[in-house]
Copies of this chain bind each other. A is one copy, B any other.
């Protein structure tokens, strides 16, 4: 056999797991190390769950959990009968935390401040209908808000709420509470669509975010539905230089 695992049977309790650490986690870590460290190259075939279980002196279910999770993370590929192998191209996916603006700003150590810039009730414009999959224009509540980190503007929230599915939004005072935070408690959703892109600052954005007209800005857009019924669309434009980051 081309490799050997660490803990031999002796060192563990007879029943239960104990020994201070979760075993599936040990297995996960060791397999991950082998892959990341290049001991097992992409395409390499791992021993079967039975074999690994025997080597660790643990139950197959434990090995199964470790390998299943690693496959879930995109590191391994599993197929019945053919076995488990290291994915040809790892790094399939990245996870980003999408925090509430409030939390994001407070995590920076800055005091969070919020301001409602605009509030209007109108018919949904064409582009919004297209984006939400609306056949006919409906009545919507349009809010424009500014989120500050300390004294500097951090994000402009351009929010559209469908008043047909959520008529009680009409009666909410959004001068204190951001629509984002209200919506979370107000309505559930079943489908979400998020996308990120770059945009140029127009005159209004430039003024609101204290940057120059034409500056490149990072923006996110999110649409949510409740069982095919459009609930809300939001465009979040971040201050100049913002980056969305993840590390692992």
User: Given B89, B190, B246, which contacts A194 in the complex, CB threshold below 8 Å?
Assistant: B246
A214 interface residue (CB < 8 Å to B)? yes
Q: Which residues of B contact A204 (CB under 8 A)?
A: none
State the Cβ distance, A2 to closest chain B Cβ, in Å: 17
Q: Which of A42, A91, A196 has the most chain B CB atoms closer than 10 A to its own CB?
A: A196
| Contact (A247, B95) CB under 8 Å given A199-B216, A217-B216 | no
B residues within 8 A CB of A243?
A: 195-197
CB distance from A238 to the nearest CB of B (A): 8
State A88–B181 Cα separation when bound (angstroms): 10
Question: Which of A8-16, A48-56, A96-104, A146-154 lines the interface with chain B?
Answer: A96-104
The size class of the interface chain A forms with chain B is: 35 or more
Instruction: Assess A191 versus B248: contact at CB under 8 Å? Given A42-B185, A218-B196, A241-B197.
Output: yes
Answer whether residue A188 sits at the interface, using C-beta atoms and an 8 A cutoff: yes
Interface string of A133-150 (1 = CB under 8 A from B): 000000000000000000
A41: chain B residues at CB < 8 Å are: 185, 188
Q: Which residues on B sit within 8 Å (CB–CB) of A191?
A: 247-248
Residue of B at shortest CB range from A90? B184
Q: How far is the CA of A247 from the CA of B222 in the complex (A)?
A: 10
The answer, among B90, B195, B245, B247, for a CB contact under 8 Å with A244, is B195
- A46 at the binding interface (Cβ < 8 Å): no
Asked whether A128 is an interface residue with its Cβ less than 8 Å from the other chain, the reply is no
Q: A52-67 vs B: 1/0 string, CB under 8 Å?
A: 0000000000000000
CB atoms of B197 and A199 under 8 A apart: no
Smallest beta-carbon distance A186→chain B, Å: 10
B residues near A90, Cβ cutoff 8 Å: 184
Q: A171 within 8 Å of B by Cβ?
A: no
Minimum CB–CB distance for A235 against chain B, Å: 12
Query: Which of A's residues lie within 8 Å of B, judged by CB?
Result: 35-38, 41-42, 88-100, 184-185, 187-200, 214-219, 226-227, 241-248
